[in-house]
Amino acid sequence: MTTPDADGLLAEQLLRLTRRVHRIQKHHLEQRDLGITPAQSRLLRTLAHWGSPPRMADLAERLEVVPRAVTTLVDGLEASGKVRRVPDPANRRVIRIELTDDGRGALRELRAARRSAAEEILAPLAEDQRATLGGLLDTLIDGEPVRRC
């Protein structure tokens, strides 16, 4: 069992790693000159997981933000041609948000930037260390051990 001081050290290490990950991802995004903020990136990634265009309220709920925050993000992405507002075919009062071709291209670039950032962060680790880290992260994320084959 770990001591409270050891737990505090682990918590600090996790926070420092999280900040480093964000900083490196931001750097890789800036290098690609996409003009997309991290929050807009998160919205695009979330939008890509929907089978059909979601409502703004659905996006706000999934992102765990207030609807006004989604409106601001969508406004910026719409102005740059990454998303568009479309009427709901069943209820014209409802507006849905869909990715454009430019938005799908931006997502490909975002994924490449995230992969580059991950490669930079993981570079010091050997393959067996990466596997161990992956297992530990799965446990922390899911709250239970995940067996890897």
Q: Is a pLDDT exceeding 60 seen at residue 2?
A: no
Task: Find, among 22, 63, 65, the residue nearest to 46 by Cα.
Answer: 63
C-alpha atoms less than 13 angstroms from C-alpha of 125 in its C-beta half-sphere: 13
> What's the DSSP call for residue 51?
S
d(CA 57, CA 144): 31
What is the Cα–Cα distance from 76 to 38, expressed in whole angstroms?
12
DSSP string, 13-45: HHHHHHHHHHHHHHHHHHHHT----HHHHHHHH
If one compares 76 and 34, the residue with the highest pLDDT of the two is 76
Round to whole Å and give the CA distance between 44 and 59: 10
Q: What is the mean pLDDT of the chain?
A: 89
Q: Can you give the pTM of this predicted structure? A: 0.75
Of the listed ranges 24-28, 130-134, 143-147, the one predicted with least confidence? 143-147
Model confidence pLDDT, tens digit, residues 61-86: 999 999 999 999 999 999 999 999 99
